């Protein structure tokens, strides 16, 4: 059974939604304080069309970040379940995260809005998958034993800070930089790492807006 093609109106709405989310990523990663009207302008859609889909900036930010988190979950699942060469599977995972640019969302938007319960549940799932990822590739002997989840996140977040010219050039430089990190991450490692790594609690706390708590 095949899916029926969408009607003209539904297809246009889907195209608009894609344009809105792409524009939101570009606008808010560059300036988290930008007005939502800037997203509509960049997407080439009317502000009324945007508000029909996302009644507020917070709604749009939750959707943008939720989609980024879901894409990350897809990538980490693929890596954990991969039956190919372990090192290539790990490298493909890291490259996928860099290309998807999900770390930019964390770096720029964490703490600027109130995450949904669904996002918190997805984050818990992500933490569990990250544990499986590390266990799998350490057991395979390709990832150095002293690497933890916080190390991988700091690597991808530092790469996300690279901006060189246009999008294509930036992506190329980011992937080149990643290859340098990958050599350092591969077992057995050239030497011990100093000090403690960033913790899951420290990373998670960034998503809680000032004046709120995890329990609220």
Contacts of 72 (CB under 8 A, 6+ apart): 97, 100, 102, 126
Tens of pLDDT along the chain (216 residues) come to 455 555 677 788 888 899 999 999 999 988 999 999 999 999 999 999 899 999 999 999 999 999 999 999 999 999 999 999 999 999 999 999 999 998 888 888 888 888 889 988 998 999 999 999 999 999 999 999 999 999 999 999 999 999 988 889 999 999 999 999 999 999 998 889 999 999 988 888 888 776 665 454
Q: For 45, what's the count of Cα atoms within 13 Å in the CB-facing half-sphere?
A: 25
Whether 3 and 33 share a structural domain = yes
Whether 118 and 173 share a structural domain = yes
Contacts of 50 (CB under 8 A, 6+ apart): 20, 36, 39, 40, 43, 60
Whether 134 and 192 share a structural domain = yes
For the record, the structure tokens of 175 come out as 């992937």
Q: What is the CATH number of the domain that holds 93?
A: 1.10.357
> Total domain count for the chain?
2
Structural domain of 38: 1-55
Whether 163 and 199 share a structural domain = yes
Whether 114 and 12 share a structural domain = no
Per the DSSP assignment, residues forming a β-bridge with 186 are 143
Distance CA 201, CA 216 (A): 16
Whether 74 and 157 share a structural domain = yes
Whether 16 and 77 share a structural domain = no
């Amino acid at each position: 059974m095949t899916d029926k093609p969408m009607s003209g109106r539904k297809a246009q709405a889907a195209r608009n939604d894609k344009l809105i989310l792409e524009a939101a990523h570009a606008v808010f990663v560059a300036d988290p304080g930008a007005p939502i009207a800037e997203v509509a302008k960049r997407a080439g859609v009317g502000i009324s069309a945007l508000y029909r889909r996302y009644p507020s900036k917070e709604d749009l930010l939750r959707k943008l970040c939720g989609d980024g988190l879901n894409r990350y979950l897809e990538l980490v699942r693929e890596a954990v379940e991969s039956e190919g060469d372990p090192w290539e599977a790990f490298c493909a995972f890291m490259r996928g995260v860099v290309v998807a640019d999900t770390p930019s969302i964390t770096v720029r938007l964490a703490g600027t809005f109130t995450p949904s319960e669904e996002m918190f549940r997805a984050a818990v799932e992500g933490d569990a998958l990250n544990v499986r990822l590390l266990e799998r590739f350490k057991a395979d002997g390709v990832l150095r034993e002293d690497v933890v989840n916080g190390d991988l996140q700091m690597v991808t977040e530092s790469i996300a800070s690279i901006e060189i010219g246009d999008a294509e050039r930036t992506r190329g430089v980011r992937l080149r930089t990643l290859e340098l990190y990958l050599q350092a991450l591969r077992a057995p490692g050239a030497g011990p790492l100093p000090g403690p790594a960033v913790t899951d609690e420290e990373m998670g706390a960034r998503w809680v807006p000032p004046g709120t708590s995890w329990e609220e």
